[in-house]
Structure 1
Amino acid sequence: MSTTTARAAKAPDTRSPIRKLLTSFGFQILAALVLGIAAGLIGRQISVDGAPTVLSDTLDKIGSSYVTILRAAVVPLIFTAIVASISNLRRVQNAARLAGQTLLWFAITAFIAVSIGIALGLIIQPGARAGEGLEAPAEPSRVGSWWDFLLGLIPQNFLGITVSTYPGAAEGTFSSSVGFNILQVIVVATVIGIAALKAGKKAEPFLAFTESLLKVIQRVLWWIIRLAPLGTFGLIGSAVIKYGWDKLVGLAWFAIAIYVGLALVLFVVYPILVKTHGLSIKQYFSGVWPAVQLAFVSRSSIGTLPLTERVTERNLGVPRAYASFAVPFGATTKMDGCAAIYPAIAAIFVAQFFGIELNFVQYLLIVIVSVVGSAATAGTTGAIVMLTLTLSTLGLPLEGVGLLLAIDPILDMGRTAVNVAGQALIPTIVAKREGILDEELYNAPREGLPFADDSGDDSNEDDSTAPDAAPEASAEPAPAR
């Protein structure tokens, strides 16, 4: 594959320094974080005995509405992204080798992350240092298991639609909600993508339609992403009011262990991998940072997917055909934060809290579950079910899950940020090893108009069908194609 990259002409940036700062996506996210924390602290002060207030309700509505909108785009995004990514492999030389290398490096980094988690759990001893006021609640209502994971792979219907019915508030009434089993959506999309490849030329109209639909969905999701500062303000403010800082007291050492582990992976392990492959650490972080920021506040690898794919292509120089396969694949299976560091430290915490001594075989099981079972998080509720899967595999008390729920939203922000950083790193490393990385684009200055809106006119975007074509890098990526 040629690594020559077509670049679109870029309009000169004539904005003043103040306007550049105010229109910077990173600054807007940071400002929303600060304002959200401030609003949350005010909300806690004016609340009487934790009763809801106008401020708390407003923040909750803003945050929950943003998450609802984000989730609405997840299913069509996953389906079209996976089908398109598999179909794009037909444009890549040595596609099987690239896919194998991607899986291998997913496993390598997951092994490193879970090893760090185990080491920190043994060194910091978070369970032994837990606050005396902590009490083990009842077992969680939902428990992850290997049977649930395996049975969850079997699609119940084309779209993986699930319907749950619960008793209503009034006696004799019931309420139902419709959801999607994301793992089943992934299976269906994968099978259809492979079938389309096998069908050959007869499937070209379908693949062209899917790729076109993906661009439309990405554009819609890009509009949602631009609302991220508003969503951040509501989510952070509501979290501060709901959980406060006092929740961290009893679980302070656990939270410290998690964030130390996340920091080691993000700021030590990943830079070492970048450097050993002859790439600039500074350029990697400046390129991936917009996606990491959004992942931190949205707590959704899937919701961040379009931005992750964009920075991987346009900032890090990974060819489009390969990135469009590796990044969506990684968004559903590559989770060093949720599926490696967190369950390792959490399992050790639970064992220490209940006074259970773990043996070598159990530590080995933690590694196996983390490396092999991360895909189980795709169709469930993320790290919590991954934790129950780990605890049930080790035979540890499932009541321990309830101990950690109070601060899970705080931890989930860091976990998701590390997930997304890894999802962009692995395609970059593999592309470099295979000689298809556009290093000129990788090393290009991060400049340009962030989120320059072309108002639907793609004349300034490179829309070449060449698999490795990508516009010039920018500090924050241009609108989704």
Structure 2
Amino acid sequence: MSETTAVRRKSLPKVPFWAQTFIGLGLGIVLGFIAKNGNVEWLTTTLTEVGSMFVRLLKLAVPPLVFTAILVSVANLRNVNNAAGLALRTLGWFLITSLIAVGVGLTLGLLTDPGQGVDKADLPKPEKGTTNGDWLDFLTGIVPTNIVDAFAKPNVLQIVFLAVVLGAAILSVGKKAEPLINGAEIVLEVVQKALWWVIRLTPIGTAGLIGSKVATYGWDSLKPLSTFAIDIYVGCAIILFGVYPLLLATVGRVNPVKFFQGAWPAIQLGFVSRSSVGTMPVTQRSVIGLGVPKDYASFAVPFGATTKMDGCAAIYPSIAAIFVAQYYGIDLGPKEYFLIVLVSVIGSAATAGLTGAIVMLTLTLDTVNLPLAGVALLLAIDPILDMIRTATNVAGQAVVPVLVSAREKTLDLEKYNNPKSIDAADDDASDADDTTKNVPAQTDRREPVSV
């Protein structure tokens, strides 16, 4: 490379990753409208395939990423002081924030009556017997009968179960299991490196995902479900920009604006990818960049990515249950509302960090004895709603470690008050090798995102 070329490259303005993603978002919307209004079938097909390929690439990393991340995070608890206490406090805040989220969802549903006045002719006819499992299927499905099937399908809950059990066994064995931990850390580093390559394709994937939805559904599909869709977005916005900042300011006694500065890359990626697990490496690096201790973050973030779902498991099923009940003319009493709260708070793991919240919805409807066929009514707009749900999930997965660390006085306030954008990490790329020799990849927040 000539010196002139190098100088030209340095003089070119660098486009931040968030700007690249929003450019992809805008381009996707424009192309989607062109495809739909102009009946350009090949463009619709291309957008659909590009979006589907991006999601498939994210899902491809899910089994090894979840298994090694959970395994390493459990094993690393040996390096955390008061590990049991921190784990309990983390779980406690997961439950508290989920309870608040389901309360917001139920309140919105009761105030707006999303299922009242909906013309049934405007909605797709539900298929008979539409179901994705009940509580018995969920509980019995946690323990795998075949290890290979757990990874081949994949069943994230079963993978989490295997990783937790193996991690606990490693803690019991002690130093003899160090080679196994080192091997898992190497695998995790390789998987995360490959996943970072996929994440860099987010602007292209965003154009395909958004464009295909606009080309397929347009905005017409939102009309008969407009109140329901607005409720989901408003509910998630209340949690994301109201409840979380309030908790950070009052409980954590930290500046909420700084949190969003540091966590925004993860929240943004969750919005466009619709995958909490796929976003997990970005979430973890953002949390560490906000000053959360690495050893604790390596436990809390993977744990949250598979169990902490305020958008998908709290707000969405609570509003959806009210919608389905009103659509079918079924009255809900105090017992049913209590069951909705219960299943939303303790059933978050059913969503397992993958795109979509249909499993959680069927669990809720089954528990309250509402028609499972109601699930089909909401499938048409589910991809549009899943974006804000996942963004809320990811934000909650980042908020709780910050809250716990702040309460435990282990949060690095200097880092928190001066969050370093992941995009700015390119300046440190030259010495990246020195930082990864002794530190697993999930704790190195200097991995660049921009391309």
TM superposition score category, shorter chain reference: over 0.9
Aligned-CA RMSD value: 2.4
TM-score, structure 1 normalization: 0.87
Could you tell me whether the CA contact under 8 Å between 1:159 and 1:180 is conserved in 2?
no
Task: Give the structure-2-normalised TM-score.
Answer: 0.92
Q: Distance in 1 between matches of 2:430 and 2:182?
A: 19
Partner SS, residue 138 of structure 1? coil
Q: Aligned partner of 2:13: which letter?
A: R
Q: Deviations over 1:301-329 (max 9, x none)?
A: 00001000010001x11111000000000
Q: 2:59 aligns with which of 71, 78, 88?
A: 71
Match of 1:19 among 13, 20, 41: 13
Q: CA offsets per residue over residues 270-304 of structure 1, 9 Å max, x none?
A: 00001012101110111110001100000000000
Deviations 1:203-243 (A, max 9, x none): 00110111122111111111110011111111111111111
Cross-structure match for 1:95: 83
Contact 2:422–2:449 (CA under 8 A) maintained in structure 1: no
Corresponding residue for residue 9 of structure 1: none
1:299 matches 2:274: yes
Q: Is the 8 Å Cα contact of residues 314 and 345 (structure 2) preserved in structure 1?
A: yes
Shift of 1:134: 3.3
Which of residues 409, 428, 440 is equivalent to 1:435?
A: 409
Within 5 Å, give how 1:82-481 maps onto structure 2: 82-135=70-123, 136-161=125-150, 179-276=153-250, 277-314=252-289, 316-378=290-352, 382-446=356-420, 449-450=423-424, 452=426, 458-459=432-433, 461=435, 478=448
3-state DSSP class of the match of 2:309? coil
Tell me which moved more, 453-462 or 135-144. 453-462
Contact residue 35 and residue 43 of structure 2 kept, 8 A: yes
Describe the shift of the 1:119–1:361 C-alpha distance in structure 2 as closer, same or farther (beyond 3 A): same
Residues 86 and 231 of structure 1, relative CA distance in 2, 3 Å threshold: same
Q: Across the two proteins, how many residue pairs are aligned to each other? A: 440
Cα contact 1:453–1:479 (8 A) shared by 2: no
Which amino acid letter does the alignment assign opposite residue 279 of structure 2? T
Cα displacement string for residues 418-473 of structure 1 (whole angstroms, at most 9, x for unaligned residues): 0000000001100111111111100015457545287796336365559998768x
Structure 1, 138-147 or 320-329: larger mean CA deviation: 138-147
2:51 & 2:209 partners in 1: Cα distance? 4
What is the CA distance between 1:56 and its match in structure 2?
1.1
1:154-191, Cα deviation, whole Å (9 max, x unpaired): 112224447xxxxxxxxxxxxxxx52111111111111
CA distance in structure 2 between the partners assigned to 1:357 and 1:105 by the alignment:
32
Show structure 1 runs of 5+ residues with no match.
1-13, 163-177
Change (3 A) 1:259 1:364: same
Query: Post-superposition shift, 1:45?
Result: 1.7
CA distance in 2, matches of 1:445, 1:188: 35
Q: Does the residue aligned with 1:90 lie in a helix, a strand or coil?
A: helix
| Structure with the bigger percentage of helix | 2
Counterparts in 2 of 1:96 and 1:468: CA distance versus 1, 3 Å: farther
2:30 match: 38
Are the equivalent residues in 2 in contact too, given 1:321–1:467 (CA < 8 A)? no
Q: Which amino acid in 1 is paired with 2:272?
A: V
Q: CA deviation at 1:378?
A: 1.6
Q: Which moved more, 1:376-385 or 1:408-417?
A: 376-385
Could you tell me which amino acid in structure 2 is paired with residue 150 of structure 1? L
How far apart are residue 133 of structure 1 and its match? 2.7
* Distance verdict in 2 for CA 1:352–1:310, change over 3 Å: same
Residues 139, 402 of structure 1: 8 Å contact kept: no
The verdict on how the C-alpha distance between 1:380 and 1:284 changes in structure 2, with shifts beyond 3 A counting, is closer
CA offsets 1:71-125 (integer angstroms, 9 cap, x no match):
1111000011001000110000000000000000000000000000000000011
Evaluate the alpha carbon distance shift between residue 451 and residue 140 of structure 1 in structure 2; reply closer, same or farther with a 3 A threshold: farther
